[in-house]
Amino acid sequence: MGMAQSGKPITSPVPEAWYPTLAFFMLTIGLLLTAAFFIYEATSSKKNKIITKELITGAVTSIFLGFGSLFLLLATGVYV
């Protein structure tokens, strides 16, 4: 049995100084897309709604809000 190999520490691919900026912009985009989604749902009639548009908007919004929340937690020192 040989000695254990020393690995290099795990680091973030994104510099820590960018966390607050990324959180702000991703959450802003996510909230704007959420507002657009609600406006679309409230103003279009049942027969004019397109399910693919709703699914794509929901998925993109979810990605932006998810990563925005992650970067917000990282910016505040909660390492997840």
Query: Could you tell me which of 29, 40, 37, 36 has the C-alpha nearest to residue 63?
Result: 29
Question: How far apart are alpha carbons 53 and 15 in whole angstroms?
Answer: 34
In a domain, 15, yes or no: no
Q: Give domain status of residue 47, yes or no.
A: yes
**H or E segment and range at residue 37:** helix 19-43
- Scan for tokens 């979810």, then name that residue: 62
Tell me the three state secondary structure of residue 50. Answer: coil
> Which pair of structure tokens corresponds to residue 33?
């897309």
Q: Which domain holds residue 28?
A: 23-76
Record the pTM: 0.83
**Residue 57 belongs to some domain of the structure:** yes
Percent share of the chain, pLDDT over 90? 76
Determine the residue type at 2: G
Is residue 77's pLDDT more than 60?
yes
